[in-house]
Structure 1
Amino acid sequence: MESRLMSGITLKLERPYVEELLNRYEDLIGKDFPGYRNHIYRAITYAMHFLGNAVEHERLVETAFVYHDIGLWTDHELAYLEPSEAVAIADNQKLGLGLDPDLLRDAIHWHHKIFPYTGPHRDIIEACRKADWIDASKGMLRKGISRAAIREVEAAFPNLGFHNSLMRLAKDYGGSTLVGAIKVTVGIVRL
């Protein structure tokens, strides 16, 4: 089901391809699954908005967001970009997804980049980067999207404790919230 929100953002409540990929990891992600799932849906919604909802980019964007943080659970690693990339590339090949592995890797690798990405496939990677920053910051960074639009997207896909999960994992994997936060920052943030 697809609808256009009052803010002009197109919202897809059902993404069977996302569910197919993500459900393979439900047991591994465990209690964090509903929050991670909704984070993925919010980020896809924002990224597709930045890409003008161009259908030709949807499969790559959906795949990148399913896997973008997966290394937190597959590898129990706070520096999770490379593990997440590895899982995505392996599944791309194993499942025959047919995506450009370099583009898929780059969409994941650069999604925490602070400054705009200027390399190959800039439009897709920038859309993913901006979308994740919007959601990771709970809308404090808006990247040109209105507060009203963010509220509408968050109402459709509630947080369900996603950000709390990230704090808990930082503490669990880092030994303390402070050490974990430092490890995350050093491990995933790119200039």
Structure 2
Amino acid sequence: MSAVVDELDRRLTPWREELGTDWDAYRNHVRRVLAFCDELHAISFRAPHSPVPSTTEEYLTAAAFHDLGIWSAHTFDYLPPSVELAQRWLHEQDRVDLRTLVTEMISDHHKVRRAASPASPVEVFRRADTMDVSFGLVRFGVPRHRYSTIVKQLPDNGFHRRLVDLTIRRTREHPTSPLPMFKW
């Protein structure tokens, strides 16, 4: 897991100042999402030889940047700036081959309905983020004890409280569009 943490930190550290007091909260959210991707992968119908999501460029990049637009662009309408950050990263790493996939993973991670087939990276990522944001109320087959173990290892550190604060602020400022990141 330390290699995964190192890779995440390589992507996130340039944004540490921008994240400010939310650094630990966001970093642990990203790590929980990746851990939930791994759990979903383990119970899916994928071949046992396929790589664990948290070790792949597409998952690491989508996870690191998926909500970062909140802080980088100072907006709760953060999907476009988050996608832009991820695309820039992929370009700098000479991995433009993953541009479409990572864009879909970020753009559809708040889709209310299924985004793709259950084993698709887009859907695995959407489900993993949903698990975290819903406090495990929705687990997509991941056992409660596995969810609880991950949450204990990677505490919230105020991440959900920050989301509530941002939602309240957005609702006051844009009452007709309180949650612009959600899609049907």
TM-score interval for Structure 1 and Structure 2 normalised by the shorter chain: 0.7 to 0.9
Say whether the 8 Å CA contact 1:71–1:81 is kept in structure 2: yes
> What residue in structure 2 maps to residue 7 of structure 1?
none
Partner-residue secondary structure (3-state), 1:129: helix
> What residue in structure 1 maps to residue 11 of structure 2?
21
Find out whether 1:49 has 2:56 as its counterpart: no
Distance 1:139 1:56, change over 3 A: closer
Letter aligned with residue 20 of structure 2: G
Find out whether 1:66 has 2:64 as its counterpart: yes
Distance 1:22 1:97, change over 3 A: farther
Pick one of 55, 73, 76 that aligns with 1:75: 73
Letter aligned with residue 90 of structure 2: N
Structure 2: tracts of 5 or more residues without a match: 43-47
Distance 1:118 1:34, change over 3 A: same
Q: CA RMSD in A?
A: 2.4
State TM-score, norm by structure 2.
Answer: 0.85
Aligned counterparts of 1:31 and 1:182: Cα–Cα separation in 2: 30
Partner-residue secondary structure (3-state), 1:55: coil
Distance 1:184 1:115, change over 3 A: same
Distance 1:116 1:143, change over 3 A: same
Find out whether 1:113 has 2:103 as its counterpart: no
Number of aligned positions between the proteins: 176
Pick one of 120, 133, 143 that aligns with 1:123: 120
Find out whether 1:102 has 2:95 as its counterpart: no
Greater Cα shift, 94-103 or 59-68: 94-103
1:162 deviates by 0.3
Pick one of 13, 25, 35 that aligns with 2:25: 35
> What residue in structure 1 maps to residue 157 of structure 2?
160
State TM-score, norm by structure 1.
Answer: 0.82
Structure 1: tracts of 5 or more residues without a match: 2-11
Aligned counterparts of 2:177 and 2:71: Cα–Cα separation in 1: 16
1:147 deviates by 1.4
Partner-residue secondary structure (3-state), 2:64: helix
Identity %: 24
* Deviation per residue, 1:5-63 (Å, 9 max, x gap): xxxxxxx6852111110111110011011011001011001112222384274221111
Find out whether 1:190 has 2:183 as its counterpart: yes
Distance 1:25 1:112, change over 3 A: same
